């Protein structure tokens, strides 16, 4: 057996191991969040932040932020980096850069504390880090090349997305578009295998849905194509505003200690949650209502603004959670606003609000992450409806064009990496001047 074939078989087997590890870690992560929510929230019901009293809507995220801030400030600076940004920085670094186990532990504990504490972040961004790091851990035990290490990290990330949303193909495309893993047949067979295994782990423990179900929808009248162009434009502008807010807050507070930034993020979220408590935590229970039209237009319009502000500030203030889920929520909410408004103005011609919410959900994710193909793939896998792809392509492409025209080709993760690089340079200059 030649060396190439031996390497190919070995990586494929490692892809299976990576998928099992990533799926297991994501499962443990979700269970830890659910246990925390059942212990802390009223009636022992997960994501039941709406039943919190007004003062607890502020006190809970502030207290969680304070505890996490104290913990993170005790850690070495290198061990505080978490999330998709952390994974990207290691994958883009020259030479062999493996994902440290300490950062993985920081991500697990930090994200559980932030989400249970009601911060407006998600579990999918941390899941990507946890999945990639768990697969990288396997590579550290073997004599792998730098390219093989990258392949294993891609396997873990794809398996994590697959396990989180039950979207194995979107997990593979995510590795290409977001993590920028160069496509090669020999490299991506292990990634595909890992994504399939991650989905099987998720289904095996009854976690085949991300917390919301997407009902079957259809376009209806061709007149709705015009509305989809408008929705794509609005979603692209929202993505621009979201990225700009994340970058501005991150740049302004890059030198602040976590004991300051995390309670501040909790305070902002808590104040906004006084009127819209649905923005606390992952918000998937409310997103599920958007998709089945059980919402009020006034409330949904308020949710678009408050979720965007709360999440943008939380990401900029370095809360150790993710932003993929919030982009889905914001996009679903703006789509629901379109659908509800059209249903009132032209009820005979408009598609259902749930249809627009479904399309807006993936358009916002694609425009923010610079991952239009991953968004469309997720749309197909979540809906199991090929008829929704044409409307989805129109809206996703329009949102992507608007975002690229205003902000260029960089995703929100690239923008945050640039902010961190400038902050590190400034810190080095200050240290040099002191010495």
258 and 400 housed in the same domain: yes
In a domain, 163, yes or no: yes
In a domain, 377, yes or no: yes
Decide which of 172, 204, 236 is a domain's last residue: 204
Q: Which domain holds residue 11?
A: 3-204
345 and 196 housed in the same domain: no
Decide which of 156, 176, 204 is a domain's last residue: 204
In a domain, 400, yes or no: yes
In the predicted model, is pLDDT for residue 186 greater than 70? no
pLDDT band at 169 (very low <50, low <70, confident <90, very high): very high
In a domain, 312, yes or no: yes
81 and 230 housed in the same domain: no
Whole-number Å distance between alpha carbons of 157 and 324: 13
Decide which of 174, 204, 234 is a domain's last residue: 204
124 and 57 housed in the same domain: yes
Mean pLDDT of the chain: 88
In a domain, 219, yes or no: no
147 and 258 housed in the same domain: no
Q: In percent, how much of the chain has pLDDT > 90?
A: 57
299 and 163 housed in the same domain: no
Q: Which residues of 243-264 are buried (b: 16+ CB within 10 A; e: fewer)?
A: bebbbebbbebbeeebbebbbb
109 and 183 housed in the same domain: yes
251 and 389 housed in the same domain: yes
Q: What is the mean pLDDT of residues 348-353?
A: 69
| CATH code (residue 56) | 1.10.3080.10
Total count of domains within the chain: 2
181 and 265 housed in the same domain: no
Q: In percent, how much of the chain has pLDDT > 70?
A: 91
In a domain, 267, yes or no: yes
107 and 156 housed in the same domain: yes
pLDDT band at 164 (very low <50, low <70, confident <90, very high): confident
pLDDT tens, position by position, 148-161: 888 889 999 999 99
For residue 234, the model assigns a pLDDT of 96
pLDDT tens, position by position, 362-379: 999 999 999 999 999 988
Q: What is the mean pLDDT of residues 11-19?
A: 88
In a domain, 210, yes or no: no
For residue 218, the model assigns a pLDDT of 59
87 and 153 housed in the same domain: yes
**What pTM did the predictor assign?**
0.92
In a domain, 382, yes or no: yes
41 and 156 housed in the same domain: yes
For residue 208, the model assigns a pLDDT of 46
Q: What is the mean pLDDT of residues 54-74?
A: 96
């Amino acid at each position: 057996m030649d060396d190439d074939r031996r390497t190919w078989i070995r990586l494929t087997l490692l892809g299976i191991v990576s998928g099992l590890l990533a799926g297991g870690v994501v499962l443990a992560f979700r269970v830890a969040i659910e246990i925390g929510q059942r212990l802390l929230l009223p009636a022992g019901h997960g994501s039941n932040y709406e039943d919190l009293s007004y003062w607890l809507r502020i006190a809970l995220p502030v207290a969680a932020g304070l505890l996490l801030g104290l913990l993170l400030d005790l850690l070495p600076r290198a061990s505080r980096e978490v999330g998709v940004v952390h994974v990207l920085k290691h994958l883009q670094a020259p030479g062999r850069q493996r994902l440290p186990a300490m950062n993985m532990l920081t991500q697990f504990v930090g994200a559980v504390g932030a989400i249970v504490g009601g911060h407006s972040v998600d579990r999918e961004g941390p899941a990507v880090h946890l999945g990639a790091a768990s697969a990288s851990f396997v590579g550290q035990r073997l004599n792998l090349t730098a390219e093989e290490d990258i392949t294993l990290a891609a396997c873990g990330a794809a398996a994590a997305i697959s396990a989180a949303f039950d979207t194995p193909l979107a997990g593979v495309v995510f590795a290409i578009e977001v993590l920028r893993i160069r496509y090669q047949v020999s490299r991506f067979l292990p990634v595909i295998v890992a994504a399939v295994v991650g989905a099987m782990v998720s289904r095996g423990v009854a976690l085949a849905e991300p917390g919301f179900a997407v009902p079957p929808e259809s376009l209806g009248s061709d007149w709705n194509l015009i509305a989809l162009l408008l929705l794509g434009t609005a979603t692209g502008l929202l993505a621009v505003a979201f990225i700009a807010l994340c970058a501005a807050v991150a740049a302004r507070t890059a030198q602040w200690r976590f004991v300051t930034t995390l309670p501040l993020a909790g305070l902002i979220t808590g104040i906004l949650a006084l009127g819209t408590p649905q923005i606390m935590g992952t918000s998937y229970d409310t997103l599920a209502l958007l998709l089945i039209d059980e919402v009020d237009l006034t409330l949904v319009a308020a949710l678009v603004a408050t979720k965007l502000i709360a999440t943008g500030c939380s990401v900029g203030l370095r809360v150790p959670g993710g932003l993929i889920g919030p982009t889905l929520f914001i996009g679903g909410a703006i789509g629901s606003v379109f659908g509800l408004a059209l249903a009132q103005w032209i009820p005979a011609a408009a598609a259902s609000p749930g249809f627009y919410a479904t399309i807006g959900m993936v358009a916002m994710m694609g425009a923010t992450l610079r991952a239009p193909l991953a968004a469309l793939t997720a749309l197909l896998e979540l809906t199991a409806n090929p008829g929704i792809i044409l409307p989805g392509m129109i809206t996703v492409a329009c949102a992507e064009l608007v975002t690229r025209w205003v902000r260029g080709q960089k995703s929100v993760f690239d923008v945050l990496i640039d902010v961190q690089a400038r902050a590190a340079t400034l810190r080095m200059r200050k240290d040099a001047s002191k010495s």
